[in-house]
Chains A and B, each alone.
Chain A
């Protein structure tokens, strides 16, 4: 990255830009892209860390709803109504 930074092409300019209401230029081709943040990085953070159903049941037992007389059902993924 040294030579590129030296040419000041990709330097950190420090200016924040607000893209509120930004629209696509007419004639611009709107596409998807290989952006890593969501497709490769983010999707991990919301994954359940327990691997087994038993662990998930233990977690559910700690759920406050149970203490108020409610019911928490732990279902395996395949039973989710999609």
Chain B
């Protein structure tokens, strides 16, 4: 049976964004902090109350009831009376603020989609659109957003602050944009979902490396886009395909103790063949038309990883896909991972040469790769790179993994 302590983080993931989305729509962008505060306060109260009084019979309903009441209080105490609100209040015969705050499923689905596209408004820069979406829609902390952008907390804080100011100043409305706008905004919406999935796939800052609920949320929202006629584009299907392929291994990626099981040790009987088939389905859908997006290529690479072989053919294919990916859109992390594929296809020495050019000095995975590449070629260098990786690593899990690698090498020196 789940205790309040375990349930709350899970509910936070699933319900926080929904509650915030509906409230943000209600209060408008100028008062988005109100929506965020109410959502946060609701969870705070849950944490306090459930610990003492025990779990309510229906925790989700409890959360929504509290959020509703707080929203009503806010409407009463603040002078947030737009014509719309006054009009609706007048319509009510009782004359009380019987504003029906609709948290039903229909409204939520609608509001979350609206929210995604509304936040991805070109008046603010793309990084701000995505950052704000991750914060408000996905409940990301500032550190998680920083990790997503390979950046730092100060930069992200500034970015989000400026974005909110701009949206407030320009009185940006939360509404589903016109068809012509949807296509323009879709790219950044997809990046948001991509980064949501990415954080769940491997969290750099949290002590739980695999956060399945984030991945599931990303897949759910991506699926909504696929089901919606105006957003059912090739790239959207390709992204969903990518997610399906990676998600197929989730059961095998953790052992009964909750520890990470690495690819070569994973029990393939725990790999979800249905999800792999779904991934193939969406990838085929994505192949319609002439567009090849980065998601097509990443999905194709992910497809190769659903085959647990270690052949040169596999790694040659992956290498070529990475090369093509980097041609379309160069990114440091793609280049880093391409270098691993290069080592597999063409040997470590050539990969070392290319890796050192990358100079991703703030990233622990960069140093981890160098440590791996130098292992058994120059173990002293390998150790020094791994020590740098240890300095840059953030989560306890990552530090332990690197620590073990260093230990092993030190014993061989």
Task: List B contacts of A39 (CB < 8 A).
Answer: 201-202, 365
Q: Contact: A13 with B320, CB < 8 Å?
A: yes
Q: Contact: A48 with B407, CB < 8 Å?
A: yes
Q: Contact: B407 with A56, CB < 8 Å?
A: yes
| Alpha-carbon distance A60/B284, docked complex (angstroms) | 52
Q: A12-B316, A36-B246 are in contact. Are A77 and B404 (CB under 8 A)?
A: yes
* CB-based nearest B residue for A61: B411
Q: Contact: B297 with A10, CB < 8 Å?
A: yes
Chain A residues with a Cβ closer than 8 Å to the other chain, count:
53
Q: A24-B331, A31-B194, A32-B195 are in contact. Are A42 and B369 (CB under 8 A)?
A: yes
| Alpha-carbon distance A61/B370, docked complex (angstroms) | 27
Q: Contact: B404 with A48, CB < 8 Å?
A: yes
Task: List B contacts of A23 (CB < 8 A).
Answer: 330
Q: A1-B303, A48-B405 are in contact. Are A30 and B331 (CB under 8 A)?
A: yes
* CB-based nearest A residue for B195: A31
| Alpha-carbon distance A30/B262, docked complex (angstroms) | 27
Task: List B contacts of A60 (CB < 8 A).
Answer: 411
Q: Contact: B323 with A16, CB < 8 Å?
A: yes
Chain B residues with a Cβ closer than 8 Å to the other chain, count:
82
Expressed in whole angstroms, the minimum distance between the Cβ of A23 and any Cβ of chain B is 7
Task: List B contacts of A35 (CB < 8 A).
Answer: 298, 301, 333-334, 336-337
CB neighbors of B among A22-57 (8 A): 22-25, 27-48, 56
Q: A4-B283, A12-B316, A17-B323 are in contact. Are A30 and B263 (CB under 8 A)?
A: no
> B56-64, B82-90, B169-177, B395-403: which lies at the A interface?
B395-403
Q: Is the interface of A mostly helix, strand, loop or mixed?
A: loop
* CB-based nearest A residue for B198: A34
Q: Contact: B330 with A22, CB < 8 Å?
A: yes
CB neighbors of A among B273-290 (8 A): 280, 283-284, 287
| Alpha-carbon distance A19/B148, docked complex (angstroms) | 23
Q: Contact: A36 with B411, CB < 8 Å?
A: no
* CB-based nearest B residue for A73: B410
Pick from A12, A32, A36, A47: contact of B302, CB under 8 Å: A36
Q: Contact: B332 with A30, CB < 8 Å?
A: yes
Interface string of B136-151 (1 = CB under 8 A from A): 0000000000011110
Interface string of B338-372 (1 = CB under 8 A from A): 10110000000000001001000000010011011
Q: A32-B148, A36-B305, A82-B390 are in contact. Are A42 and B323 (CB under 8 A)?
A: no
The chain A residues found within 8 Å of chain B, CB to CB, are 1, 3-4, 7, 9-10, 12-25, 27-48, 56, 59-60, 63, 65, 72, 74-75, 77, 80, 82
The chain B residues found within 8 Å of chain A, CB to CB, are 126-127, 130, 147-150, 188, 191, 194-195, 197-198, 201-202, 204, 242, 246, 249, 253, 262-265, 280, 283-284, 287, 292, 296-298, 300-303, 305, 316-318, 320-321, 323-324, 326-327, 329-338, 340-341, 354, 357, 365, 368-369, 371-372, 375, 386, 390, 399-401, 403-413
